[in-house]
Amino acid sequence: MATTTLSHPTIGSINGTTAKPGVKQYLGLQYATLADRFAPAALKEYTANDSLDATQVGPQVIDAPNGPQMEQSLIQHTLPDDTSHLTASDTEGLNLNITVSEGTSEDAQLPVFVFIHGGGFMLGSATWPQYDFAKFVRLSKEKGLPIIAVSLNYRLGIAGLLTSKEMRDAGYKPNNAVRDQRTALQWVKKHIAGFGGDAQNVTLAGESAGSVSCTYHLQSKEPLFKRVVLMSGTSLLMSPVPVEVAERSYQSAINALGLESATAEERIQALLRIDATELRSKLMTVPMLPMVDDELPLASYTFADFAIGKTNLPGAEWCESVMTGDCQFDGNIQGLRLMHRKQGIASAFCQHMQTAFSTAEIMDKLLQAYNLTPDLDDDTAFFRVLEVANDIGFYAPTVAYAQAQSKDVETYMYRFNEPNPWDGPWKGHSTHILDIALLFQNFNEYLEPAQRELAETFAEDVFTFACGKEPWQAWENGKRVAKVLGPQGKTEVVEDQPEKVGRRKVLFDLAEEVSGGMDHLAEAFNGFLRGTPTT
């Protein structure tokens, strides 16, 4: 393997790889250490005499069998990359990968692009081939907008989110997933200059749960980035749960492990001792979500909070600009949660909505808008229920966030409408994850020329934004505009109105009529997702 050696001023000697054309990569750099799987992340310390091997990706934080291929199956195209070398570790998985253009000097002070992967806080990894930034960074230099790219791993699932009073009393803080991300950003701020990056010019980006995480970080008073890219995810999609909900999840975990009669200390020791694969298998059905956390801080906000300005996000004081957007059919991702309920879903959905609204008129308007009737065939009904999921979980929140953010922060909206070109159930639809598949350039050789051109255009827009320049006209309450990407490779800036960007307006109309507005509509649908009644 072709290697390169960097004499880093704060870390020491780092051996990286030049195996991919036009870039140098420093892989598997540990940014934090862990005493055990639930311990707080401690920022990695170095000495001037350290010598690090950063030629191979580091271990993942969770061993997800066929993880890369599983996510690629959602994209509906695989990448020819050997993933047999991927490993997992409870305590060594907090690492990151850095990609820089060849010829970048240590004092270049280039803009830094830090990416947080998605996966519902349950799976995902910066080591997967779809998150290789070699082509992305090489293109940035070709476009005359060179950046440095960083991708990071953070704790997921049980290790990332399990919490309880007895764990907190024992010194284990909640929300390890989010705390790990913040520690990685602190590492970047401390060390990225030695790779040629500008620690004061960081753009944080994320997709799905990664984007949700970015909105969490906007709640911090600590300015660890200058700009943010929110891709198909906000805190309105995954609101932090109250303490009592997190406690119920913990009790479910304890019950599933047969530890009901054990003492608090015995339970915690068992959680630390049980093999990670066994733990994940036994607790697969236990819901895991971030918890409201005053220390972090991590608060739960509603649509109404955003509408009336009650969010008071500290990030509005220090974040210079926001790029935010969605895919036309992000809602397909909720099919993973609803697939086992597909049989008879039309009747079940209609019955649930009858309990969710006090008047039949609102229910009828909702069902008619999405052409849902109790006697629909399963395939058709499944698709239309996912359209509701799309609008309430992804589209409406982008508007809510833009309305709130644009008052204080420059905000740029995009709408990704390029259809999936590959065979599978979602062919012809602009689905969840497709925007990052095109953005990072790793699927270019499987695209038609028009789609490759769109992928490069999208990437150039992101480079422009990361370099502190205006990618297109900002979104303002007085004049809402959006960059529409697709279909058929076409891109244009238009007024951000539903009919002009390929979206539906019906939920906004219904929110004006129903008591509780958009929050009631969201709770009605989320109750269906959870399989619980709504009152």
Q: What pLDDT does 63 receive?
A: 75
Q: What pLDDT does 265 receive?
A: 97
Backbone angles phi, psi at 172, to 5 degrees: -95, 110
Residue 434 to residue 419: CA distance in whole angstroms: 8
Q: How many CB atoms lie within 10 A of CB 72?
A: 20
Residue 190 to residue 44: CA distance in whole angstroms: 11
Q: What pLDDT does 309 receive?
A: 87
Interacting residues of 340 by C-beta distance below 8 A, sequence separation 6+: none
Q: How many CB atoms lie within 10 A of CB 314?
A: 15
Amino acid at 81: D
Residue 496 to residue 476: CA distance in whole angstroms: 10
Residue 301 to residue 409: CA distance in whole angstroms: 19
According to DSSP H, which parts of 40-155 are helical?
67-75, 134-142
Interacting residues of 315 by C-beta distance below 8 A, sequence separation 6+: 217, 218, 219, 220, 228, 409
Q: Are 447 and 421 in contact (CB under 8 A)?
A: yes
Token pair 């909070």 is found at 305
Nearest Cα to Cα of residue 31 among 10, 17, 48: 10
Residue 185 to residue 197: CA distance in whole angstroms: 13
Cis before 487 (ω within 30): yes
Q: What pLDDT does 41 receive?
A: 98
Instruction: Identify the CATH homologous superfamily for domain 3-46+53-339+431-472.
Output: Alpha/Beta hydrolase fold, catalytic domain (3.40.50.1820)
Q: What are 84's two structure tokens?
A: 């047999």
Token pair 């608060």 is found at 299
Q: What are 510's two structure tokens?
A: 């219904």
Q: How many CB atoms lie within 10 A of CB 146?
A: 22
Cis before 533 (ω within 30): no
pLDDT along the chain (535 residues), means of 10: 92 96 98 97 90 95 84 94 84 97 96 98 94 98 98 97 98 98 98 98 98 97 97 97 97 97 97 93 92 96 93 92 98 96 97 90 94 97 98 97 93 98 97 98 97 98 98 92 97 97 96 94 95 63
Residues 188, 191, 197, 199: what is their CA dihedral angle, to the nearest 10 degrees? Answer: 60
Q: What pLDDT does 32 receive?
A: 98
DSSP helix/strand/coil, 6: strand
Domain boundaries, the chain: 3-46+53-339+431-472, 343-386+506-530
Residue 280 to residue 286: CA distance in whole angstroms: 10
